[in-house]
Amino acid sequence: MISKQFISRLGRQSQKFSTRWQSTSPFAAYEMAPLDPIIGLNEEFQRDDFPQKVIVGVGAYRDDAGKPYVLPCVREAEQRLVDQKLDMEYSGIAGDQKFVDLSLKFGYGEDSGALKEGRIQGVQALSGTGGLRVFGEMIRRHGHKHIYVPNPTWGNHIPIFQNSGLEVRKYRYYDASNSSLDFDGMIKDIQDIPAGSCVLLHACAHNPTGMDPTLEQWKQLSELFKKKQLFPFFDAAYQGFASGDAILDAASLRMFVDDGHLLGTIQSFSKNFGLYGHRVGTLSVVGSNAEEAARVVSQMKMVIRPMYSNPPRHGARIVSTILDDPKLKSDFYEQCKGMADRMNTMRTKLRDELEAVGSTRNWDHIVKQIGMFAYSGLNKEQVMEMRSKHHLYCTADGRISMAGVTTGNVSYIANAMHDVSK
Amino acid sequence: MAIVPHYETLVISLLFCVTQAATFSAATSSVWSKVETGPPDAILGIAQAFRECQDDRKVNVCVGAYRDTQGKPWVLPTVRAAEQKLLENDDPKDYLPIEGDTGFITEAVKFAYGQNVDLSTVAAVQTLSGTGACRIGGEFLAHFWENKNIYIPTPTWGNHWKIFKECGLETHPYRYYDRSTNRLDLIGFIEDLEAAPEGSIILLHACAHNPTGCDPTLDQWKRIADVLERKGHLAFFDSAYQGFASGDAERDAAAFRYVTDRKTIPVLLAQSFAKNFGLYGERCGTLSMICSGEEERQRLLSQLRCVIRPMYSSPPRHGSSIVKTVLSDSQLAPQYYEECATMANRIQAMRELLVKTLAEVGSTHDWSHVSEQIGMFAFTGMSEEMCDQLTKDYAIYLTRDGRISIAGLNDSNIRYVAEAIHAVTDGKSITGN
């Protein structure tokens, strides 16, 4: 937990510093905080000299040559923007309205009744993290004390919500013993959640497990949420990037909206549009009417203004340009599907390679899982052995980013995984 | 965690009913039903009112954004050139590190602290412009600095109060501007710093104080620094106008560098590239602090990352890539400094013309404070009523504290604005509000 790392005392130590500074620094007692488990992995990898080193850590897409991939439709949109010589004025606390409108259509569907009624409104957010934080701060200001997240979940969810002032509670989600969704456990835990509580759901391609409920299971969840009067909050970071079909990947969210739930959603455009470093996202709510949704948006703005005032323009303009142009939009769907298809192909290849090198473990879950990550089932010791012996880097929970797997390294990876798990 | 007493605690109704039908109209109560409409932001709300105004005569002297002689936003040619370069070089779009773009940070730190700064003594992170820097700095201090009191000048940029309150710091005002003389209230300033508990955090505007445009002289900075040192206060500088104030980036950094060069006062710096690079909407800035050396720098960075990661993970890369490209390029960098001076010089010319025109249209007030002020704004001394009248009767949009963004003035509108100001101030006081 973040809070354990902070020290309030300021020790005065008699350390010698250079003559350019006072005899004791005001920061002398501050300890080194631990590395972020996901991003810190990259730093460790950078320091490794081994020529065949492989990293399958951070969720950023790589092509089959292991290189970063900027979608051609993104480049084209960018060139158009530069040619238009747009200004760089502040875009307003809620960001670019055209971008928000287009992104809501993308997420909720062009034909969404709720959208047409004006019940769905939102703000531009700093990708997933930024939207989650604004939402967490906002609901905490409006009486929420807890938020429920699946176990496991993306590591950063926990400090985001804790720093929002919420207590994070978990509901069962994954059965590690047979690498599958623990749906019974999930239902049982959700049944115990107090009415009115906010419950986080991964819209698709659950991170880190890659295990999603089926549509029938989503239906059951929708009814349970209704019965228990729970307040859903969807984290949608992989629309289009999971199955390759942007409509299919939004099915759970759209089902809940059609079933009448009032909810929140955070859409990230980091992966599907490859706009990672531009921090593009949309935070939205589905309210009971347009006036209510507008009120909630005004409250989001209250959180944003003292945090960063207004969001960066460039990435949102790129998404806007693409979604607003029929040809670019169709290019986007194709290119996004291309990324999803490559990762799915690698899943099959990895499983096959593991068999080929003689592993007798069942690796079918790698193929059953969806999205960017394979939750391998390897334990921490095995992961560390892979790092030290094979210079293969993945996070300590055994999560492998399929985006980092290529035809060039899949055998190497399979060998390493087999070696530590046989 | 921060105290946010804006609205009553919401009680989620247990009578939440959801109809089975697809259309949704008459839920007895929704999870959002008790959410009130938040008040509009003072400055941005006025900007919106300006946009919606239909009056032909309308003039926007509200938001602090530069305008050219035609009243249009101006993207610096070096910024355009940098953007084109980024495209040609296929600049990648990967996540930046949590702390931001190292190359950009190096250039930004050198820009603020001087080209020969020992980088190992500056722990710096990339932030979302000035707001983001103040927030990250404030959160960091709220967790780590023993004395949670922050002293904020009166007046200041409105958002400062909100930001630091959100961080959980105890906010207090200190006297800064004397409205009865329209000059710096140095005595009140020093007295309030003396009265503050030892080791308090003191927010200082590095140059071109917003909204007053009234900066201490270097001699006055010496006296301020003496008190900071004696009381063990931490100097938290907000630098939003370096290069944009006088036209000379080195000169605008003089006060800040004087205080840091003393080596006896802990320093934090919030740096914005919104105005001086015209990168407003791309949200580019840094937060930095002086430290004892590389080992300490790493420790501080590790803690700053813990503030950033659960807030937005990593900063947006477009603006920082532009600044990095410009400042590290032997041709673009000197050209940039000229372009920034162009903006500052036009504003200075408008400032002088405004005062001259006020006299021409018959105003007998002493407007010398406006001549002496520096930066983007003129802090006129007009009352709220006068400002409201300017807006209502003349469609001139300014903030109600009497602050005019001089960048919004040009040869076409300056006489109209001067006449309007004269009309609302004639025979009334512009001091002592």
Q: Domain of B417: which CATH number?
A: 3.90.1150.10
**What is the Cα–Cα distance from B166 to B3, expressed in whole angstroms?**
7
Q: Does the residue A224 lie in any domain?
A: yes
Predicted local distance difference test score (pLDDT) of residue A36: 74
| Strand B396-397 relative to strand B59-60, pairing | parallel
Tell me the pLDDT tens digit for each residue of A249-278: 999 999 999 999 999 999 999 999 999 999
Tell me which of A18-27, A304-313, B268-277 is least confident: A18-27
Interface contact A21-B9, CB threshold 8 A: no
**Cross-chain CB nearest to B31 (options A21, A231, A309):** A231
Over residues A53-81, mean pLDDT? 92
Is B302 close to A142, i.e. CB distance below 8 A? no
Domain boundary among B299, B328, B357: B328
Bridge partner residues of B204 (DSSP): B237
Residue of A nearest to B304 (CA): A33
Measured N-to-C along each axis, helices A314-323 and A97-108 cross at an angle, to the nearest 10 degrees, of 50
pLDDT of residue A16: 31
Distance in angstroms (rounded) separating the CA atoms of residues B162 and B156? 12
The model's pLDDT over A180-194, given as tens digits with 9 standing for 90+, comes to: 999 999 999 999 999
Rg (CA), chain A: 23
Is the predicted pLDDT of residue A1 greater than 50, yes or no?
no
Provide the CA A114 distance to its chain's centre, in angstroms: 25
Q: Which residue has the tokens 């300890």?
A: A31
Does residue B324 share a domain with residue B274? yes
Q: Do B146 and A8 touch (CB under 8 A)?
A: yes
Best mutation target, B6, B15, B35, B90, to test chain A (most A CBs within 10 A) = B35
Q: Which of the pair, A20 or A144, is modelled with greater confidence?
A: A144
Nearest-CA distance from B84 to chain A in Å?
Answer: 7
Question: Is the same domain home to A215 and A346?
Answer: no
CB-nearest to B263 from A9, A22, A231 is: A22
Percent of chain B with pLDDT over 70: 91
With bands split at pLDDT 50, 70 and 90, how would you rate the model's confidence at A40? confident
**Four-CA torsion A138, A141, A147, A152, nearest 10 degrees:** 50
Q: Tell me, what's the pLDDT at B351?
A: 97
Burial class of residue B335, CB neighbours in 10 A (0-12, 13-18, 19+): middle
Q: Which of B9, B16, B17, B31 to mutate to test the interface with A (most CBs of A within 10 A)?
A: B31
- Coil, strand, or helix at residue B319? helix
Q: Which of B83, B293, B313 sits opposite A18 (nearest CB)?
A: B293
Same domain, B273 and B184: yes
Tens of pLDDT, residues B296-344: 999 999 999 999 999 999 999 999 999 999 999 999 999 999 999 999 9
State the smallest CA–CA distance between residue A91 and chain B in angstroms. Answer: 6
The token pair that represents A58 in the structure block: 């951070």
Please give the residue range of the domain that contains residue B155.
95-328
Q: Is the pLDDT of residue B236 over 70?
A: yes
Residues B197 and B55 grouped into a single domain: no
Are residues A318 and A368 part of one domain? no
Structure tokens at B36: 């009130």
Q: What is the pLDDT of residues B16-26, one digit of tens each?
A: 333 333 333 33
Q: In B, which residues are within 8 Å of A196 by CB distance?
A: 12-14, 16, 31
pLDDT band of B11, cuts 50, 70, 90: very low
* Same domain for B303 and B348: no
Q: Do residues B286 and B173 both lie within one domain?
A: yes
- Same structural domain for residues A319 and A344? no
What pLDDT is recorded for position B32? 67
How is residue A321 written in tokens? 């340009």
- Work out the average pLDDT over B254-260: 97
Same-domain status, A124 and A253: yes
φ/ψ bin of A118: left (φ > 0), alpha (ψ from -120 to 50), beta (otherwise): left
Written in H, E and C, the secondary structure of B165-217 is HHCCCEEEEEECEECCCCEECHHHHHHHHHHCCCCCEEEEECCCCCCCCCCCC
Residue range A165-172: average pLDDT? 98
d(C-alpha B54, C-alpha A127), whole Å: 36
**B27 or A139: whose pLDDT is higher?**
A139
Domain shared by B342 and B303, yes or no: no
B277 and B387 co-located in one domain: no
Average pLDDT over all residues of chain B: 91
User: Which segments of B73-114 does DSSP mark as H helices, in order?
Assistant: 77-88, 102-113
Residue B94 has pLDDT above 50, yes or no: yes
- The predicted pLDDT at position A19 comes to 33
- Indicate the range of A337-346, B35-44, B176-185, B263-272 predicted with least confidence: B35-44
Q: Is residue A421 a contact partner of residue A359, using CB atoms and an 8 Å limit?
A: yes
When pLDDT is cut at 50, 70 and 90, the band that residue B8 belongs to is very low
Asked, for residue B80, whether it belongs to a domain, the answer is no
d(CA B368, CA B358): 11
Chain B residues in contact with A299 by the CB 8 A cut-off are 35-36, 38
As a whole number of angstroms, the distance between CA B379 and CA B390 comes to 15
Q: With a cut of 80, say whether residue A401 has pLDDT above it.
A: yes
Mean pLDDT lowest for which of A129-133, B131-135, B295-299?
A: B295-299
Give me Rg for the CA atoms of chain B. Answer: 23
Q: Are residues B61 and B161 in the same domain?
A: no
User: Does the structure show a pLDDT above 60 at B89?
Assistant: yes
Q: Which residue has the tokens 């917003």?
A: B210
Q: Which are the contacts of A49, defined by CB distance < 8 A and separation ≥ 6?
A: none
Q: Taking residues A45-72, what's their average pLDDT?
A: 90
What are the structure tokens assigned to B304, written together?
Answer: 């700053």
Of A7, A277, A308, the CB nearest to B96: A277
Q: Which residues pair with B271 in a beta bridge?
A: B239, B286
What's the confidence (pLDDT) of residue A43? 79
Residue A161 covered by a domain: yes
Confidence check: pLDDT of B206 > 70? yes
pLDDT at position A38, please? 72
Give yes or no: B356 in active site: no
**Of A295, A324, A353, which residue constitutes the final position of a domain?**
A324
Give the pLDDT band (50/70/90) at residue B243: very high
Do residues A273 and A219 share a domain? yes
CATH code of residue B241: 3.40.640.10
pLDDT at A7 over 90: no
- Tokens 């009448």 belong to which residue? A260
Instruction: Verify that A102 and A163 share a domain, yes or no.
Output: yes
Q: With an 8 Å Cβ cutoff, are A90 and B24 in contact?
A: no
pLDDT at A199 over 80: yes
Domain range spanning residue A172? 90-324
Catalytic residue among B178, B192, B238, B401: B238
A77 lies in some domain: no
Of all residues in chain A, the one with the smallest CA distance to B66 is A89
**Cα of A112 to nearest chain B Cα, Å:** 11
For residues B238-252, average pLDDT: 96
d(CA A102, CA A112): 13
8 A C-beta contact, residue A147 and residue A168 = yes
**Residue A7 placed within a domain:** no
Question: Exposed, middle or buried, B84 (CB in 10 Å: 0-12/13-18/19+)?
Answer: middle
Instruction: State the pLDDT at residue A18.
Output: 33
pLDDT tops 70 at residue A125? yes
Same domain, B115 and B142: yes
For residues B409 and B291, membership in a common domain is answered with no
Which of chain A's residues have a Cβ under 8 Å away from the Cβ of B49?
A: none
Confirm whether A319 is domain-assigned: yes
Which residues pair with residue B122 across a beta bridge? B290
CB pairs under 8 A between A and B: 289
DSSP one-letter code for B430: S
The type of residue at A378 is L
The alpha carbon of residue A276 and the mean position of all alpha carbons in its chain are separated, in whole angstroms, by: 11
pLDDT classification of A41: cutoffs 50, 70, 90: confident
Write the Ramachandran bin of B232: left for phi over 0, alpha for psi from -120 to 50, otherwise beta: left
Based on the domain organization, do A372 and A292 belong to the same domain? no
**pLDDT tier at B429, thresholds 50, 70, 90:** very high
Question: Which residues in A lie closer than 8 A to residue B408 (C-beta atoms)?
Answer: none
From B33, B38, B73, residue closest to A299, measured CB to CB: B38
User: What one-character-per-residue DSSP string does A195-258 give?
Assistant: TT-EEEEESSS-TTT-----HHHHHHHHHHHHHTT-EEEEEE--TTTSSS-HHHHTHHHHHHHH
Q: Which of A324, A353, A373 is the last residue of a domain?
A: A324
Average pLDDT over residues A274-287: 97
CA distance B94 to B78: 24
Same domain, A232 and A120: yes
Domain count within chain A: 2
Which of B277, B304, B328 delimits the end of a domain? Answer: B328
Sign of torsion, CA A139 A143 A149 A153? positive
The whole-angstrom separation of Cα A307 and Cα A137 is 11
Q: Do B128 and A126 touch (CB under 8 A)?
A: yes
Q: What percent of chain A has pLDDT over 90?
A: 84
Nearest to B24 among A21, A288, A312 (CB): A288
Residue B12 pLDDT level (bands cut at 50, 70, 90)? very low
| Rounded CA separation B212/A405 (Å) | 58
Residue B205's pLDDT is what?
98
Amino acid at B165: K
The full 3-state SS of B262-304, as one line of letters, equals CCCCCEEEEEECCCCCCCHHHCCEEEEEECCCHHHHHHHHHHH
Cα distance between residue B406 and residue B348, in whole Å? 8
Final residue of a domain: which of B306, B328, B350? B328
In this structure, are residues A270 and A237 in contact, taking their beta carbons and an 8 Å threshold?
Answer: yes
Check pLDDT > 60 for residue B7.
no
- Give the DSSP H/E element, type plus range, for residue B236: strand B234-239
- pLDDT level of residue A166 (50, 70, 90 thresholds): very high
The reported pLDDT for the residue numbered A365 is 94
Query: A24, A124, A142: best mutation site toward chain B, by most B Cβ within 10 Å?
Result: A142
Answer whether B275's CB lies under 8 Å from B240's CB. yes
Query: Is B38's CB within 8 Å of A301's CB?
Result: yes
- Give residue A269's pLDDT: 98
Diameter over CA atoms, chain B: 73
Give A-chain residues touching B118 at CB under 8 angstroms. 20
Is residue A186 located within the same domain as residue A293?
Answer: yes
Clarify whether residues A245 and A392 are in a common domain: no
Chain A hits for B163, Cβ within 8 Å: 306-307
Same structural domain, A307 and A348: no
Which of these ranges, A343-352, A386-395, B31-40, has the smallest mean pLDDT? Answer: B31-40
pTM score of the predicted model: 0.91
Quick one: tokens of B124?
């710096």
Tokens of B204: 């200082």
Task: Over range A348-365, report the average pLDDT.
Answer: 96
Structure confidence by residue, pLDDT tens digits, B369-418: 999 999 999 999 999 999 999 999 999 999 999 999 999 999 999 999 99
**What is the predicted pLDDT for the residue at B43?**
75
Strand partners, A124: A282
Please, which residues have CB within 8 angstroms of residue B36's CB and are 6 or more apart in sequence?
A295, A299, B7
pLDDT at A9 over 50: no
Answer yes or no: is B381 within a domain: yes
Catalytic residue, chosen from B157, B185, B367, B401, is: B157
First-to-final CA distance of chain A: 34
Same domain? A127 vs A256: yes
Question: Domain total for chain B?
Answer: 2
Structure confidence at residue B24 (pLDDT):
32
Label residue A304 by pLDDT band (50, 70, 90).
very high
B145 a catalytic residue: no
Provide the ipTM: 0.91
Which of A299, A324, A349 marks a domain boundary? Answer: A324
Is B157 among the catalytic positions? yes
Half-sphere exposure of B36 (CA within 13 A, CB side): 9
> Phi and psi (nearest 5°) for B127?
-135, 170
Q: What is the domain-level CATH number for residue A209?
A: 3.40.640.10
